[in-house]
Amino acid sequence: MRLRIEPFFYALAASAAALLLAQLLGHDPLQRALYMARFTARAGVPLVLAIYTASSLHRLWPGPWTAWLSRERRSLGLAFALTHTVHLAAILNYIAQPGSPPQPAAGIVGYAFIYLMAFSSNPGSMKQLGRWWHRLHAAGVQIVFLYYLAGYASMMFEPELRPLGLTVVSLLLAALAVRVAARRARRAAGGTVQ
């Protein structure tokens, strides 16, 4: 299980671009810190979509690209953990700014799963945890997906963020539809369901 370096380049480039964009668009330290937190979360959207749909896309449309995507979920997942480490640093920076509103601690569970999955993404952990490894990763992917869905759905209540929220929620619901279709295809073929 060799890691691909390309997802890490994406994670670093997308996170750096998010931080730079926040610096350019923010008018004061508090707004720049807010934008850093928002934009670094957005850097993870393509990775969430890829990870969430990888095996389902390959089941529905087998081919070289979907095989690569399914095979590289581990690298993509670790790259996502990297983007979200940058996002966590941005959140902590925002919280530390004078005048920042209190932030709910709801993301703690999501981060716990992100890091549990990242630290267990190696052959030794897979062997030691056995079927619990699969359960941890299956639950973790669902939890991260639900955090993203809830976060972007909440944007639809803010007029200036509504177009982005609607776009990302639509992509996430399409990803969910792909997973449901793949599950049905597997059942129809008489296979086991993951």
Per-residue pLDDT of the chain (194 residues; tens, 9 = 90+): 566 777 788 888 999 999 999 999 999 999 999 999 999 999 999 999 999 999 999 999 999 999 999 988 989 999 999 999 999 999 999 999 888 887 777 788 899 999 999 999 888 888 999 899 999 999 999 999 999 999 999 999 999 999 999 999 999 999 999 999 999 988 887 755 44
The pLDDT of residue 191 is: 53
Q: Note whether residue 193 is domain-resident.
A: no
Domain span holding position 34: 6-188
The pLDDT of residue 81 is: 94
* Angle at alpha carbon of residue 192, lines to 189 and 194, rounded to 5°: 120
The pLDDT of residue 194 is: 47
Please state, in angstroms and rounded to a whole number, the distance separating the CA atoms of residues 158 and 118: 33
Q: Note whether residue 77 is domain-resident.
A: yes
Q: Note whether residue 21 is domain-resident.
A: yes
The pLDDT of residue 53 is: 96
Q: Note whether residue 1 is domain-resident.
A: no
Please state, in angstroms and rounded to a whole number, the distance separating the CA atoms of residues 6 and 165: 28
Count of structural domains, the chain: 1
The pLDDT of residue 3 is: 66
Q: Which two tokens stand for residue 19?
A: 């931080």
The pLDDT of residue 193 is: 46
pTM value > 0.85:
yes
CATH number, position 107: 1.20.120
- CA nearest to 58, candidates 71, 75, 44: 71
Q: Note whether residue 32 is domain-resident.
A: yes
The pLDDT of residue 99 is: 84
Residue that the structure tokens 């359960």 belong to: 135
Residue that the structure tokens 């792909």 belong to: 178
